[in-house]
Amino acid sequence: MHMRDTDYNIVVCTNSNYAKYIPALFNSISFHTKAGIAFYVVYSSITEDQKLRIKKNISINPENTVEFIEFDTQNELQKLEKDKKFKKFAGSFDTYTRLFLTDILYIRRNIERVLYLDIDIIANKSLEPVFERLKSVKMLGGVLDSDADSLSHISENYINAGVLLLNLKALHEFGFMQKALDLAAERAGELQYFDQDIINIILGSDQKTLCDASFNTQSNIPAEVKKGILFHFTGPRKPWNRTLRWRVKKCSWVKHCIMARIGGGVIAERMLNMCLLTLRPFLNLFVRDSKTKISR
């Protein structure tokens, strides 16, 4: 498949532990974005039931498509004799899958540009502005990490890797995959944020395109949340955790999680939104907020 200017491509990387959260993400994207999107789910493990639920939620828009791509990152690292030098994240090597995307999507499928998303994200508005920006990204685009100032010793303009606007062709010509794998093997014990650090170290400020903060809203500040296109739940406090307080971002995630299960259109979305926002002060009475520092 060759990407045309009008094509919208999204890729997520997952395993069966996290694939259960993809329907909410894809439901929110399909609900808000009217243009057809080609979704790619790169996985090391996934169940057939999870695939069916994902397919159901992209079918909100009949122009959407989804391709499931099996990719065993640990096995690939073993082939390169680098696996023993890599550090697992959340019990697996799957966090490094995105380092292989130039090979998986560009070399094997001729896809030149793609939007990469972490699983702990929900769409709040149409992604058309994000895709429009993607067209002009020279190599890789992203939003400054919420802790960018404290991480400036690693890289200037340190971006959060949860939302990445990827020019795969340019990254391939740059030799990104090989450079990333070499650096990861060389400095595995030093890296705090694993592949996110790798991306920021390899790519300098002139190779990273800074994007509008609304593309990756990491904050809970009302003014920023209001502008948000993509809400990102960074750090250990995920929207599916009971310990996360009921703010607007969590209400958005829960709304699309419900819609992913029972369906519903604009009226259902508005009713759910109103109910959740009304109930959230009461729901917060049962939540003990964690003081854990937000990162990643």
Percent of the chain with pLDDT over 70: 91
Query: For residues 25 and 231, is the Cβ–Cβ distance under 8 A?
Result: no
Give pLDDT, residue 248.
Answer: 95
Give residue 127's pLDDT. 98
Computed over every residue of the chain, the mean pLDDT equals: 90
**Are 260 and 23 within 8 A, CB to CB?**
yes
**Could you count the other beta carbons within 10 Å of the beta carbon of residue 147?**
18
CA distance 123 to 25: 7
Cα–Cα distance for residue pair 90/102, rounded to 1 Å: 24
pLDDT for res 23: 98
Integer Cα distance of 166 and 245 in angstroms:
32
Closest CA to 115 of 125, 127, 124: 127
Cβ atoms of 180 and 195 within 8 Å: the answer is: yes
- Give the pLDDT of residue 237: 86
Burial code (b: 16+ CB inside 10 Å, e: under 16) for 246-265 equals: bbbbbbbbbbbbbbbeeebe
pLDDT of residue 294 exceeding 60, the answer is: no
**pLDDT confidence tier of residue 33, bands split at 50, 70 and 90:** very high
Which residues, other chains included, contact 139 with Cβ-Cβ below 8 Å and sequence gap of 6+? 167, 170, 171, 174, 203, 207, 208, 209
What does the pLDDT average to over 96-107?
Answer: 95
Of the candidate ranges 26-35, 149-158, 185-194, the one whose mean pLDDT is the lowest: 185-194
Q: How confident is the model at residue 288 (pLDDT cuts 50, 70, 90)?
A: low
Least confident of 134-143, 200-209, 284-293: 284-293
Does the pLDDT of residue 163 top 70, yes or no?
yes
Distances (CA, A) of 201 to 79, 138, 183, 190, 194: 24, 17, 9, 12, 11
What is the mean pLDDT of the segment spanning 245-266?
A: 95
Q: How confident is the model over 64-91, as pLDDT tens digits?
A: 999 999 999 888 887 776 555 676 766 7
Q: Alpha-carbon dihedral of residues 180, 185, 187, 191, nearest 10 degrees?
A: 70
